[in-house]
Structures are given as structure tokens and as C-alpha cells.
Amino acid sequence: MNKTIKITTALMLSIVIAVVTFVSVSVYLRDKYDEKLDNQNISYNNAIERLSRQYESLSVIGNALKILEEAKEKINDYYLFDIDDDAVKASLGQAIYDIIFTGTVEEKDIQTYLLDSYFNAIGDPFTMYHTPEEMAKFSDESAGKLYGIGIYVYLDPDTGYIYVNRVMPGSPAETAGIEAGDAITHIENTPVTAETYTQCISLVAGELDTTVKLNIIRDGEQLEISPLRGEVRARSVFTDYIGDYAWITIMEFSGLVSEDFIAAINEAEAKGVKGYIFDMRDNPGGDLNIICNILDKLLPEGPIVNVMDKNQNKIYSRSSDSAYINKPMTVLCNENTASAGELFTAALKDYQMATVIGVTTYGKGTMQTIISLSDGSGVRITEYYYNPPYSENYHLKGIEPDIIVEESEYYKNRPFLRGGEGDEPLQAAIAELDRLQNN
């Protein structure tokens, strides 16, 4: 046996030994395995032989275990909360059993299955594993790049069609003539229904500079439009004017939102608006630096955020300068306003600069760090609390509005209809700005 073969054999045996050792981490599950293995007339002693038959290369499992250990090290270094070790062992034991013996996990899915089992056992919905593909997508999004046609859409519960809510300026969709209010009935000849919605959304993605065929209904007329897929300059800030007021909707705090928001404020100020409605409804949050840049534009001199560790030690803070916007303001929020969307809401409320209208927010007052692993995948880890300028952290509690106004179920299920007279929170915000103006 030559040297190369010896090294390879030793490596493969090391991987197998690591796997078998890993399977036995839980005494409880070991009994469960023995019973199932006896029923199949196999034992742990021939698990290696079974593994060798099932997979052409054991390096898949070895690599997955290596990445798992990297992820565990990051969790041990950074994770904010305590971990139930027994729950982790049980979940990983079950995952290893599924991978080795049940045949239900495809070889290409082994690493994701193993890592997801670990993070699911941790129990924090904001701490998770990301595949290399997801990490690459995050990198594009952070640079403000999207690959597609550039529309925001919702499922229309009345028709089952995809309803175009917003068209990004300068996007392939705008160039092709797609408009807000269009109802997409087919994508690449696939009918759009509630059941096929996710599939149809995925069909929009594809190779750059290729077309995607859309069948559309607009004002009762049937159209066929085929925009060219391309790089989209992501936009999440949209401004509408209601009389003397600027209604600024921020979809999320990512990409180039801070510069788009500042541009929106500068435009509104140049128009001489008398007040602002900031719409945080359904805003899931985003990047802390982006939200701080935005709040710095609005707030007077003082704190913006205080980042705290698990022992409530301040490790970082950010403050605004003396320049600020001195106009009446309102903030619209709902149960899906989360994270940075909540910080925006809480900060303006702390400075008594805005009236908050809507319902209690989601309640996520922690921040996450995304860390790359050696194979290009990554982990998102809850690392710190972030506190508003003066009020208490709202994690798991949410922010109570100053004026409670619930959206009707009809509008809640049809957010693309917001802006009309039936949009009760928006109408309440207009009334509040009128009151503040009169005072």
C-alpha cells in the first residue's frame, strides 16, 4: 500500500470513527438506536460497513462534522443566551441517526440537515445556519444588488394572483412597463395560485439577460410582458405625498436604504412639507449601522442606541449630532414591525418627536452577527441586546403605540391596498398631524 493510499485510508477511518462517536453522544438515543438496529439485524459494529455502502465518499459527513464544530465554536464564543446541552445532544443524535440509517437525507443535504438540527435545538429563531448560496446572496443584498426584475409583490387573497405593490425605479420591471397594481396570473406559463405562489416567485429568478414571461391583468385587460432579468439597484424607501405631508415607507433597513432615506427627506424638505408619516408596518429590521445613519438624520444631539452584553455591560453606543428635522411626525407600526423597525419607532418616541400609531410591535431587541465559516457557509448568532436611547429594551415585549389603531382583517391581508380611505392607521396619522399643526 503506497503512502497516498495509507493517508487516505487513515483519513476515511478517522471520519467514520468521528461519526460513530458522535452517534453515541446521547445515552437515551443509544437505547433507541439499538432497538431499531436489532430489528434490522445490524449493530453498531457493522455501521461502518453500512455507511461505506450508502455513500460513495464519507468525506461529505466528515466535512459536515467539521463545519458543525466550527459553528459550535462560534456559538460558544458569541451566543447571548444559555444553551440546553441535553436538547442539543438529543437533536444531533437524531440527525446522525437519520443520516446514517434511515436513508431519508440526501447526500447533498447532509450538512444543512446536521447544522439545522443543531441550531433548531438552540431554540432562538434568530440564530441559524446559512448555506454558501445564502451567504453569497447576503453579500449582494448588503451591496444593494439584486438579480431579477425589481418588484415588491403580495399574494392577492381574492384572486390568488400575485399583486404588484411596488416597482423599483430604474428596474427591468419598470423598463418593461410593469406597473403597481398589476395582477400577475401566470409566470412562464405556470398559473399563479395560493398553492403555486412560492414556485412562481422562484421562477422570476434566473440567468442574467434572459427574459421571464409574465401574463398580467391590468384594468381588466390581459397583457403579456417579458422583462429582461438583470441587476437591480435595490430600493426599500418609497415616498408618497398626502397634501402637505410626506408618507415615507421603509420596507427594511438593508442595502442602500440610508442614502435613499436621506434623499427622500431632503426632497420632502425642499418641497416644504409640514409633517411626516413614517410607515414601519411589516418592516422586519435590518442593519444597525443603517438605522443609526437614518436616525442621525432625524434626531437632535443625543444617544441613538446602546449595545449591551448579557451582563448588561455597555459595549458600544452611537449618538446623533445636533442637526435634526423639526417637523411633526408620526410612526405607523404593527405586530410585524421588528428589530431595527422597532428601534426607529422607540427612538422617535423616546425623544418625544413622533406619535406612534398602530398596535404593539413584534418585540425583538437583540442584534445578530453573521460570521463566515471555512467553506463559505455562515452562522447568524444573537450576540447582544440593543437598547433604545432612553427607554428599556423591548425584547419579547414590543413597543406600545401612543394611539392604538388596528388594521381591519381585510387590509391586514391586503397590504398592497394601503393608502386609501380604508387604511385606518394611515388616516389616524393624517388626523394626528392635522391636530399637531393646529396646536
* Structural contact between residues 379 and 71, judged by C-beta atoms closer than 8 angstroms: yes
Residue-range domains of the chain with CATH: 3-123 (no CATH), 145-233 (2.30.42.10), 237-438 (3.90.226.10)
Of residues 282 and 255, more confidently modeled: 282
- pLDDT tens-digit map of 356-379: 999 999 999 999 999 999 999 999
Residue 305: partners with Cβ closer than 8 Å, 6 or more residues away:
288, 291, 292, 317, 318, 343, 347, 386, 387, 388, 389
Model confidence band, residue 49 (pLDDT cutoffs 50, 70, 90): low
Does residue 17 have a pLDDT over 60?
no
Does residue 353 have a pLDDT over 80?
yes
Burial (CB count <10 Å: 0-12, 13-18, 19+), residue 89: middle
Helices marked H in 147-222: 172-176, 197-204
Q: The whole model's pTM is what?
A: 0.80
**Cα–Cα separations (whole angstroms), residue 276 to 29, 331, 353, 426, 437:** 59, 8, 11, 11, 12
**Cα–Cα separations (whole angstroms), residue 144 to 232, 234, 396:** 8, 5, 30
Amino acid letter, 87: A
Rounded to whole angstroms, how far apart are CA atoms 38 and 17? 21
**Tally of CB atoms within 10 A around 326:** 8
Predicted confidence at residue 365, as pLDDT, reads 97
